[in-house]
Structure 1
Amino acid sequence: MAWTEAYSVGTESVPAVGYDLQDEDARALAVPIQELLQDTKGAEDVRRSLEEVTRTAFRIDRLETVLSATGAVSEWRVGESLAEYHLASQHSCVFPWPSGRDLKNPGTSGGGVDLIGFDTSGENAMLALGEVKTSRQQLWPPSALTGRHGLEKQLEGLRNNDDRKTWAVRYIAMHAVGKDWHGIFAEAMVRFLDDPQDVRLFGTLVHVTDSNELDLKTRAKNLSDGCPPATKIRLTAMYMSDQGLQIMAGEQVQWETPQ
């Protein structure tokens, strides 16, 4: 699909772009977003790993019951899946171990950095860390951007090497051992170990309302002040209707933020 740009603001070091997503765009995104929500790739890996033991219809049915147990689709999970798809398809990012796999209950947030992976757009991969907020609040900016635990503060912390960056690196390091993507991880770790500021940070707002550059303009300026040269930050906002987010999810969304 074509991403329709609503505005472009920000600074040289922190670009910030807003996109308008119509309901027809949501329909075009529905399949890849639902694959991420349901972790289709992870489920297929499990099926292949158990081919030798699932030789009866009874066992296959039982396994499918386990793999399809997703629970309610919270708005934040749809927002994170949309952000992940956008970064992967438009910015050469890969997120090989989705944080959703570690949720004991898909209706609850796992905490920590939302998206942990790699930017492969350059000659050598670099760590890519993403924070995502989803809001229906009819304010520009919404509190999800500006609050004490809002997107701006979270990105400031990662930019300034807070503990969350350390835990994010530990998280991906522990999952990389023995995986087929360990080579990309090793490339990124060389850069990180030489300079912990050599990372790519992405902040994504999924705002269920009309587009307005007030969401990102000040955030980009604030984050560019004192940003280390080795750290690359990009802000993105995506605007859509309630119906659009539900179309992407494939079912009723559990709303958590007020309008």
Structure 2
Amino acid sequence: MCAERPVWAPDPERAFTAAASPTGPGTTTPGGPTPRPVRASAVLVLLGVLDDVPATHDGRAVPADLDVLLTRRSPTLRHHPGQVSFPGGGIDPTDAGPQAAALREAEEETGLDPTGVRVLGTLPPLPVTASRNLVTPVLGWWDRPSAVAAADPAETVDVFRVPVADLVDPAHRVTATLTHGAREYRGPAFDVAGVLVWGFTAYVLDRLLDALGWAEPWDAARTVPAPV
């Protein structure tokens, strides 16, 4: 069964406008509060052979030793607390662009050596309406893996790798649901080793697996509530 796509507006202007509509969170009225400005951000989608523990699933098209680096955000953060995410953050004026920002943020959050990362390219910017971020995913290959750990517990509490083949495993794929007032979010999610990857991070992984031809059919009718 093909996965049902999440409620996600591909056009950032439409997405942020919808998030501020009278029917959704962030409602504004004439004379009311002005919406926060949209922030440009970048995340690092870092692939590589990160350890010698292979995947448990035979992904056929995916090497058993291929991993992706993920982090868990601090539960005290204002936006997306406790969620699994890619390392990344806002693009500073001093950054040369999304790629430089993604590498800088990854170094600050995980301690990785950015000189060991080969940037393969960027994906189109995607809107994250809850935090009003326009996020550019930066795809990288870890030529020379370095030691990583949560560098700032105020932002990141865990840094870990997940075998990509285990993400592909249909047994680990679910649809995450979240109800906010009259609106319902339904999006792809990955339940691997007790870790639920959902929201923006799962959306990027879902589309990346599809684009690379690695995805396998999965049952989108199997749902789990998104943790809030």
TM-score (norm 1): 0.25
Q: Which has the bigger relative contact order, CA under 8 A and spacing at least 6?
A: 1
Which structure dedicates a bigger proportion of its chain to strand?
Answer: 2
Which structure dedicates a bigger proportion of its chain to helix?
Answer: 1
